[in-house]
Structure 1
Amino acid sequence: MRIYTDEIINAICFNAADRRGIRPNEVEVQMSYDEEYGITAEMWIAGRSQYLIETNLLEAIEQYAFTHYNRRVFRSDISLGIDEEAEQFWAEFPD
């Protein structure tokens, strides 16, 4: 199964909201790619910024797959990538 940028951002928002006891719409996320760090994201909550690395993204996607797709996925089974042609990030995990 493959999810794209919007769902990855949703995964991050739901994960952050759950951890902090806020609503997912109170979280803003912007994803990016850096040659040194790979796929990353910057997250804002109440005006404060936090930089997320791949491990954080995998944790959020793991939880999202479980809560939204009822799939138990392990971080080691999740692949992240970029579709440069479509200008989208993607995450893939087993069906």
Structure 2
Amino acid sequence: MRLSMDEIVNAICIHMAERKQVRPTDVLVELCWDEENGFTAEVTIQGRLQYLVEANMLEAIERYMFSEYNRRVYRDQIHLDVEDEMWADIHD
């Protein structure tokens, strides 16, 4: 299974909204990748900027997979990749 960039953003929005007790629409996410830091996300909630590392992103995807697809997946089953856009491959 493959999650699109939009689904990764949705996963992070839902995850951070639950953690910060705001609506998912109040969360802005920008996905990033560079050779030095790997996969990261810039999250803005109520004017405050927070950076998520890959482990945080994987946690959000794990929770998203369970809540949206009723599938329990673990971090070693999720592989993030990027070309023109970022995606996540979910392996069984």
Q: TM-score range by the shorter chain?
A: over 0.9
User: What are the Cα deviations for residues 29-83 of structure 1, in whole angstroms up to 9, with x where unaligned?
Assistant: 001111111111100000000011100100000000000010000011110001x
CA distance in 2, matches of 1:4, 1:53: 18
Q: For structure 1, which runs of at least 5 residues remain unmatched after alignment?
A: none
> Moved runs in structure 1, 4+ residues, more than 3 A?
none
Q: Counterparts in 2 of 1:50-89, with a 5 A limit?
A: 50-82=50-82, 84=83, 87-89=84-86
Q: For structure 2, which runs of at least 5 residues remain unmatched after alignment?
A: none
Whichever residue aligns with residue 81 of structure 1, its letter is D
* Secondary structure of the structure 2 residue equivalent to 1:8: helix
* Secondary structure of the structure 1 residue equivalent to 2:39: strand
* Secondary structure of the structure 1 residue equivalent to 2:36: coil
CA distance in 1, matches of 2:34, 2:85: 14
CA distance in 2, matches of 1:51, 1:59: 14
Q: How many residues align?
A: 92
Q: Percent identity?
A: 53
What CA RMSD, in Å, does the superposition of the two structures yield over aligned residues?
0.9
Whichever residue aligns with residue 90 of structure 2, its letter is F
Q: Which residue of 2 aligns with 1:14?
A: 14
CA distance in 1, matches of 2:88, 2:80: 5
Shift of 1:94: 2.7
